[in-house]
Structure 1
Amino acid sequence: MKKYLSSVLLILFFVLSAIGHYAHWSPTVEFIISAVAVIFVAGFLGKATESVAHYAGQRLGGFLNATFGNAAELIIAVMLLREAKFDMVKASITGSIIGNLLLVLGLSLFAGGLKHKIQKYNVTLAGMNGSLMIVAIIALFVPAIFLNTHVLHEEDRNTLSLVVAGVLIVAYLLWLVFSMITHKNYLADVTDRTEQQLPHEHEPAWSKKMSILLLVVATVMVAFVSEWLVHSLDTFTTKFGLSEIFVGAFVVAIVGNAAEHSAAIMLALKNKIGAAVEIAVGSSLQIALFVAPVLIFVSHLIGKPMDIVFTVIELAAIGVSVFIAKSITQDGKTNWYEGLLLIAVYCILGFSFYLV
């Protein structure tokens, strides 16, 4: 009965969100309904991801969730690009990175640690993730330093942005080859190595093909609901006096990451911390090394070029997030208090952005 009730509520709020958008309901009502719809759709996506992870392993399952979750983020960003809202796009990228590293990872470690005390995952993968996060920081800091300390022509700014974006995309694609193909076993999760000898606690709800199909369906639903919610943001945020940088870094980012939130926490509670970390950290890396660079190229293709220069506030937030996340995850072991520390840093940054 509970399963059917969840499905009914999912369909109900998805339909209401669509009606609210196309019938031009009050932006506040539309925002609330869409936000509730995102919660249900994210839960659906989390369940589909868990089922896929059962067949594909925790790392690939986590990667798929991060990728499908970021698809909604990419769609939202492209919509903002078309309206030349570059500041909000960069703020949403910043918010997505710090949201995944601090909020998603923090809640996952906190929830999983309360239930399982100490959780372990591949320490080599943790070190590699830390190195990639530092590369992402370097890639964002260097253009900002050079472009803010030297007077460069607009053409040079765009050229540097495109070169950096291209290098990051190549580095990320080669990382996928390294982690998923050439060194797959080397980076395999601790629990994945023993799963063949241990019985699964629960069998997946769907078959392999059905799981993949429902993962795609859930992602499409997330994309639509996210679009409808973003449509109501301008009026909603103006009504409550919220700044554009706060909206982009926290409101839009939290909505875009709703799928990762639920999926990562659910997996951590089931002691699949490897997949939870892959979702949180992997999603941040994907945003910094792939989604952000892709947006640079997309902006040029649509005739509204955006550079890769972030503000000092945004760079500081990303730098702090990477520093604490790398410090906590590098030993391959987690507990609830480490999750609490990440959440505390997120709250500090959130309130600081709110006051801007």
Structure 2
Amino acid sequence: MLKSFFSLGRELVSSRWSLLLIFTAAALFAHLNEGMPIGQLIGWFIVCGLGLVPLSRMIAEMVEELADRLGDRIGGLVSVALGNLVELVVSFTALASGLYHLVVVSMAGAVITNCLLVLGISTCVGARKQATIEIHPYSTGLQDQQLLASAMFLAIPTIFALNNKAELSEGANKFDSFASYSLIVSVIVLAFYLLSFLYQMGTARNLYMRAESEDVLPAAGEKKPLGSLIVMLLVVSAILVGVSENLVESLEFLVEGAHLNPLFVGIFLLPLFGCFSEALISIKAANSNRMDLSMASTVESSVQLLLFVMPLLVICGIPMGRYLHLAIPGASLFCLGATVLAVHWIIENRKLSWYEGSLLLTLYCVIGAGTFFLGS
């Protein structure tokens, strides 16, 4: 196994992407402080962002290999778990620093980037030579329902806060009534999300699992040992955590020192680096006519962020003395709602076209321009 592990490692770094590992090494050993000049902080932010690129590419290659062997559905779940690692690390780091606004807005931004930018490009790539492409009727239907439900679960606490004329706050350092309510809702939402796996893998397994002959493309070349793939995934993920922590730290100093617009940073800028892994997996899958895997890497990834990662942050913040609220600022909530409705509209007939992909990209540009010029 050790021999196959090193062989896999050499293969992963033997492409032009390996040149960017220089940025990865630099980002791992970066020493940042608040007193740095703005230009130097911007430089380190770019270095850390570029350092994520080769790591995300490695994850994409290994997940594609796993999907070939395990099937698109299970492979897609693996890609979702690993693809959201960056967002999870970013959010935990921001939560530990008391940056509640950045946690909430960046979560919404990751969903917007996944569902509009990444899925939009993937749809245009997958349907570029045909009128429409069919997608899994049950799998995508469940993803659509979960995405709509997750938006409602986040909107309702925000509405209750506004209805009680309370100051809308994304978090606090004391355990108040809103923190109690957020904790209860988080536990309920987590239970609801876990029930979806029981439904897909148990009760309705036959509906969600296509035949292997339909699901899996024949793997070209020699198959990598499964154990080596898993170990390498863990190693790359650990390095990814280190780079992500420095990325967040440089961003924190930038927001404070350069007075950047937090809404633009959280919704538009930060998710561009965090969603790179999903983008690679989704676009490559779409190019290979594997839209089920592409949908799992974008829509299902977004569902996991809202139904699993967000509630998990609320629960884990309690022993840290950081009480995250399930409340989203109005502009972010509306952009998230528009994104959810756009995704629902294009996939409700279980067919996709490149024109529908262009709709997602257009909406993404409209939101991005709004956060840059008018966000506050």
Does structure 1 residue 276 correspond to structure 2 residue 322?
Answer: no
Q: Which runs of structure 2 are paired with 1:30-179 in the superposition (5 Å)?
A: 30-114=44-128, 118-151=132-165, 155-179=176-200
Alpha-carbon displacement from aligned partner over 1:206-258 (angstroms, at most 9, x marks no partner): 23222222222232232222222222223445676531122122222222211
- Mean CA deviation greater in 17-26 or 39-48: 17-26
The 1:319–1:7 alpha-carbon spacing in structure 2 relative to 1, beyond 3 Å, is: closer
Give the TM-score of the pair, scaled to structure 2: 0.86
The 1:200–1:21 alpha-carbon spacing in structure 2 relative to 1, beyond 3 Å, is: farther
Does structure 1 residue 218 correspond to structure 2 residue 229?
Answer: no
Does structure 1 residue 188 correspond to structure 2 residue 200?
Answer: no
Letter in 2 for 1:30: W
The offset of 1:20, in angstroms, is 3.5
- C-alpha separation in 1, matches of 2:24 and 2:119: 27
| 1:260 equivalent in structure 2 | 278
The offset of 1:205, in angstroms, is 5.6
Checking the alignment, whether the CA contact within 8 Å between 2:91 and 2:103 is kept in structure 1 is yes
Q: Indicate the SS of the match to 1:36.
A: helix
Letter in 2 for 1:28: I
Alpha-carbon displacement from aligned partner over 1:279-319 (angstroms, at most 9, x marks no partner): 10111100110100111112212112121111111110111
Percent identity of paired positions between Structure 1 and Structure 2: 25
Checking the alignment, whether the CA contact within 8 Å between 2:190 and 2:311 is kept in structure 1 is yes
Give the TM-score of the pair, scaled to structure 1: 0.91
- C-alpha separation in 2, matches of 1:262 and 1:182: 32
Letter in 1 for 2:278: E
The offset of 1:49, in angstroms, is 0.6
- C-alpha separation in 1, matches of 2:143 and 2:291: 15
The 1:298–1:265 alpha-carbon spacing in structure 2 relative to 1, beyond 3 Å, is: same
- Mean CA deviation greater in 36-45 or 169-178: 36-45
- C-alpha separation in 1, matches of 2:365 and 2:134: 26
The 1:45–1:115 alpha-carbon spacing in structure 2 relative to 1, beyond 3 Å, is: farther
- Mean CA deviation greater in 167-176 or 335-344: 335-344
Checking the alignment, whether the CA contact within 8 Å between 1:94 and 1:318 is kept in structure 2 is yes
- Mean CA deviation greater in 9-18 or 310-319: 9-18
| 1:338 equivalent in structure 2 | 356
- C-alpha separation in 2, matches of 1:287 and 1:195: 25
Letter in 2 for 1:52: L
The 1:22–1:312 alpha-carbon spacing in structure 2 relative to 1, beyond 3 Å, is: closer
Does structure 1 residue 18 correspond to structure 2 residue 18?
Answer: no
Across the two proteins, how many residue pairs are aligned to each other? 353
Alpha-carbon displacement from aligned partner over 1:133-173 (angstroms, at most 9, x marks no partner): 12112111111111111157973212211111111100111
Checking the alignment, whether the CA contact within 8 Å between 1:123 and 1:330 is kept in structure 2 is no
- C-alpha separation in 2, matches of 1:223 and 1:334: 35
The offset of 1:15, in angstroms, is 1.2
Checking the alignment, whether the CA contact within 8 Å between 1:126 and 1:331 is kept in structure 2 is no
- C-alpha separation in 1, matches of 2:15 and 2:32: 26
| 2:305 equivalent in structure 1 | 287
Letter in 1 for 2:271: A
Checking the alignment, whether the CA contact within 8 Å between 1:120 and 1:274 is kept in structure 2 is no
The offset of 1:203, in angstroms, is 4.2
- C-alpha separation in 1, matches of 2:26 and 2:63: 25
- C-alpha separation in 1, matches of 2:82 and 2:95: 20
Give the gaps of 5 or more residues in structure 1. none
Checking the alignment, whether the CA contact within 8 Å between 2:72 and 2:215 is kept in structure 1 is no
Residue of 297, 302, 306 corresponding to 2:320? 302
* RMSD over equivalenced CA pairs, Å: 2.5
The 1:205–1:230 alpha-carbon spacing in structure 2 relative to 1, beyond 3 Å, is: farther
The 1:204–1:224 alpha-carbon spacing in structure 2 relative to 1, beyond 3 Å, is: farther
